[in-house]
Amino acid sequence: NNIVAIVGRPNVGKSTFFNRLIQRRDAIVDSVSGVTRDRNYGKSEWNGKEFSVIDTGGYIKGSEDIFESEIRRQVELAIDESDAILFVVDVEEGITPMDDEVAKRLRKVTKPVLLVVNKVDNAKRENDALEFYNLGLGEYFTISGMSGSGTGDLLDKLVEVLPELPPINENPEELPRFAVVGRPNAGKSSFINALIGEDRFVVTDIAGTTRDAIDTKYNRFGFEFNLVDTAGIRRKAKVKEDLEFYSVMRSVRAIEHADVCILVIDATRGFEGQDQSIFWLAEKNRKGIVILVNKWDLVEKGTMTSVDYERKIREEIAPFTDVPILFVSALTKQRLLKALETAVHVFESRKNRIATSKFNEVMLPIIESNPPPALKGKYVKIKYCMQLPTKTPQFVFFANLPQYVKDPYKRFIENKLREIYDFEGVPIDIYFRQK
């Protein structure tokens, strides 16, 4: 997918606008999982073209008083990592010095930049918007994030200017594609180096290209796989990038490209906000997930056991707790083979296909003895179920009153499915439909 970044000062209405862009898609995802996570990343579609949207501002809490330097860094990263930039300004405020500065930077960018003038709710405001020609970015789009007016024209233009992505590398053997993701300094490159050797990640950076999340084929310990090469790993962090935003922004492309995400966390820091964001990013994209607790060699035995550690992580990732968690050390090469094996296993499980007749034989008796609770005196009857022929595991249950099936029951079914079949590390979808 193309990645579109929304940039701009705090309070210009970026998140309202963002929500409008991703609205429909997210409503679907969230009704399935029953939880809302990560309000800063989502998928959108217009005229049949799908793209990912990132609200750069959303990652900063208390963003009213965020430092200008922070905005600058956001803009730089958006320029680095996205395919198109939506620069949002506020007609009520007019052009601020910060807007001027951002515009100056964006004028030098060769990627598509669309200037979005927000809060244009009436004709007078249309008129006020004229001053934004002074930003030197050419034509602008006036919208009202509140009412949604103007977004259609803007999206028409956006999908028109989005670049064609290079074709995905051919993968005729259907080898697993793994992406090693995680916050800076978690040990991603060390892990990769330990696994496949030092030289791999010393590669030339082609200036200005960001569409370089490509994969390379490897054969290690008897496993063949493709490793998605991410800019975030190669371009060693020059600044302290402690904000969630940076990890997420640098992981999106790799995650979207992968089948299984190997999430490396730093054992000495725990499973923090950034780790969680990346986790949910992978989950939202329905990718397989393996969590590696790296630098386990640094954790003094006795202070914290792996059991405690694991429990804590599982609390954070609930309700999707059925994920492999391994304690590794890239330094001492402890359990690296196991990590690779697990990732391959998750890849295979994600491709599990359960025959419909068997599936009904197994699931219907379970449903019969634990039916969905009656609602308003009406009973839900589930007659038939099947796995859909989709890329990631999705299951549909046909019922007389599907709208009466609530999230707790969906979760019950999901848990049963996970007990019976092996979907460890694999997000699954469950739907109830009218027969």
Task: Determine the interface stretch with ligand GDP among 9-17, 91-99, 141-149, 183-191 (rule: CB under 6 A).
Answer: 183-191
Q: How far apart are CA 394 and CA 110, in angstroms?
A: 40
Phi-psi region of 222 (alpha: psi -120 to 50; beta: other; left: phi over 0): left
Q: How far apart are CA 251 and CA 229, in angstroms?
A: 11
SS3 assignment, position 425: coil
Q: What is the DSSP string of 269-336?
A: T-S-HHHHHHHHHHHHTT-EEEEEEE-GGGSPTTTS-HHHHHHHHHHHHTT-----EEE-BTTTTBTH
Q: What is the DSSP string of 42-54?
A: EEEEETTEEEEEE
Rule CB under 6 A: say whether 189 interacts with ligand GDP: yes
Rule CB under 6 A: say whether 249 interacts with ligand GDP: no
Q: Tell me if 252 is assigned to a ligand binding site.
A: no
Choosing from 57, 112, 176, 184, the residue that interacts with ligand GDP (CB under 6 A) is 184
Which tokens in the block code for residue 233?
A: 């790993």
Choosing from 16, 19, 63, 185, the residue that interacts with ligand GDP (CB under 6 A) is 185
Q: Minimal CA–CA distance to 143: which of 156, 161, 134?
A: 156
Q: Tell me if 121 is assigned to a ligand binding site.
A: yes
Bridge partners of 54, per DSSP, are 5, 41
Q: Tell me if 402 is assigned to a ligand binding site.
A: no
Q: Tell me if 42 is assigned to a ligand binding site.
A: no
Which tokens in the block code for residue 141?
A: 């789009």
Task: Determine the interface stretch with ligand GDP among 103-111, 154-162, 178-186, 244-252 (rule: CB under 6 A).
Answer: 178-186
Rule CB under 6 A: say whether 182 interacts with ligand GDP: yes
Task: Determine the interface stretch with ligand GDP among 3-11, 185-193, 274-282, 303-311 (rule: CB under 6 A).
Answer: 185-193
Choosing from 262, 325, 330, 336, the residue that interacts with ligand GDP (CB under 6 A) is 330
Given the structure tokens 């370089």, which residue do they identify? 212
Q: Of 191-230, which residues contact ligand GDP (CB under 6 A)?
A: none
Q: Minimum distance from CB of 281 to ligand GDP (Å)?
A: 16
> How much is the CA Rg of the chain, to the nearest whole Å?
23
Q: Minimal CA–CA distance to 87: which of 141, 147, 37?
A: 141
Rule CB under 6 A: say whether 297 interacts with ligand GDP: yes
Contact 182, 247 (CB under 8 A): yes
Given the structure tokens 């025959």, which residue do they identify? 355
Phi-psi region of 221 (alpha: psi -120 to 50; beta: other; left: phi over 0): left
Pick between residue 177 and residue 295 the one whose CB is nearest to ligand GDP.
295
Rule CB under 6 A: say whether 331 interacts with ligand GDP: yes
Q: Tell me if 294 is assigned to a ligand binding site.
A: yes
Q: Tell me if 406 is assigned to a ligand binding site.
A: no
Q: Tell me if 273 is assigned to a ligand binding site.
A: no
Rule CB under 6 A: say whether 188 interacts with ligand GDP: yes
Q: Minimum distance from CB of 161 to ligand GDP (Å)?
A: 33
Q: Which residue is nearest to ligand GDP (CB)?
A: 187
Choosing from 43, 177, 295, 345, the residue that interacts with ligand GDP (CB under 6 A) is 295
Q: Minimum distance from CB of 271 to ligand GDP (Å)?
A: 15
Q: Minimum distance from CB of 216 to ligand GDP (Å)?
A: 17
Q: Minimum distance from CB of 182 to ligand GDP (Å)?
A: 6
Question: How far, in whole angstroms, is CA 246 from its chain's centroid?
Answer: 13
Which H helix or E strand runs over 87?
strand 84-90
Choosing from 190, 306, 321, 392, the residue that interacts with ligand GDP (CB under 6 A) is 190
Which tokens in the block code for residue 143?
A: 């919208």
Q: How far apart are CA 110 and CA 114, in angstroms?
A: 12
Cα torsion 54, 59, 62, 67: sign: negative
Question: How far, in whole angstroms, is CA 206 from its chain's centroid?
Answer: 25
Q: Minimal CA–CA distance to 109: which of 132, 88, 85?
A: 85
Choosing from 106, 233, 290, 428, the residue that interacts with ligand GDP (CB under 6 A) is 233
Choosing from 52, 230, 294, 349, the residue that interacts with ligand GDP (CB under 6 A) is 294
Contact 326, 340 (CB under 8 A): no
Pick between residue 103 and residue 213 the one whose CB is nearest to ligand GDP.
213
Task: Determine the interface stretch with ligand GDP among 113-121, 181-189, 338-346, 380-388 (rule: CB under 6 A).
Answer: 181-189
Q: Tell me if 120 is assigned to a ligand binding site.
A: yes
Q: Tell me if 26 is assigned to a ligand binding site.
A: no
Rule CB under 6 A: say whether 292 interacts with ligand GDP: no
Contact 106, 26 (CB under 8 A): no
Q: Minimum distance from CB of 189 to ligand GDP (Å)?
A: 3
Pick between residue 186 and residue 354 the one whose CB is nearest to ligand GDP.
186
Residues at the contact surface with ligand GDP, assessed by CB under 6 A:
182, 184-190, 233, 294-295, 297-298, 329-331
Q: Which residues are annotated as a binding site?
A: 8-15, 55-59, 118-121, 182-189, 229-233, 294-297
Q: Which residues are annotated as a binding site for GTP?
A: 8-15, 55-59, 118-121, 182-189, 229-233, 294-297
